[in-house]
Structure 1
Amino acid sequence: MDIIVNGKPHKTNEKCTISQLLADLGMHATHIAVEVNMTVVSRSQHSQFVLSQHDRVEIIQAVGGG
Structure 2
Amino acid sequence: MSKQITVNGEARTLREEATLADLVAALGQAPQSLATAVNGEFVPRAARDTLQLRDGDAVFTFQPITGG
TM-score with structure 2 length normalisation?
A: 0.85
RMSD value over aligned CA atoms? 1.6
Cα distance in 1 between the residues matched to 2:63 and 2:13:
21
Give matches, 1:18-37, under 5 Å: 18-37=20-39
- 1:16 corresponds to which residue? 18
Pairwise CA distance, 1:61: 2.3
SS in 2 for 1:53: coil
Cα distance in 2 between the residues matched to 1:40 and 1:6:
14
Residue-pair matches, total = 64
Q: In structure 2, do the counterparts of structure 1 residues 10 and 35 end up closer, same or farther at CA, with 3 Å as the change threshold? A: same
Structure 1: segments with no counterpart, 5+ residues = none
Identity across the alignment (%): 30
